[in-house]
Amino acid sequence: MSEKKETKPQKNRPSEIQLLGKRIKELRIQKGYSNYEYFAYEHNISRSQFGRYEKGEDLRFSSLVRVVKAFDLTLEEFFSEGFEMDEEQD
């Protein structure tokens, strides 16, 4: 029987959802949008909800797919940068 290793949240380490938010914000800025509201409006995404996505708050998978498509990226391209997380050392 194999034991499942439990991981404990580390202080000052961003969560996966916060990394998603950071990646979304970086891509928006790379696309030339200094304001998240303009990007959201032009891509028919709720501005208030998009703002929460960038803050690393609640994000459903279907919403993530919609945002990734708005950036004209595949999921593979989206996740290719910005998600390197240090493995917890024993």
| Domain count for the chain | 1
Interacting residues of 55 by C-beta distance below 8 A, sequence separation 6+ = 21
Residue span of the structural domain in which 24 resides: 16-78
Q: How sure is the predictor about 89, in pLDDT bands with cuts at 50, 70 and 90?
A: very low
The Cα diameter of the chain in Å comes to 53
Q: Is residue 41 part of a domain?
A: yes
Sign of the dihedral defined by the CA atoms of residues 45, 46, 52, 55, in that order: positive
pTM: 0.77
Q: Is residue 11 part of a domain?
A: no
Q: Is residue 52 part of a domain?
A: yes
CATH number, position 23: 1.10.260.40
| pLDDT tens per residue, range 49-77 | 999 999 998 789 999 999 999 999 999 99
| pLDDT tens per residue, range 20-43 | 999 999 999 999 999 999 999 999
- pLDDT recorded at residue 68: 97
Q: Is residue 46 part of a domain?
A: yes
Q: Is residue 72 part of a domain?
A: yes
Q: Is residue 88 part of a domain?
A: no
Q: Is residue 89 part of a domain?
A: no
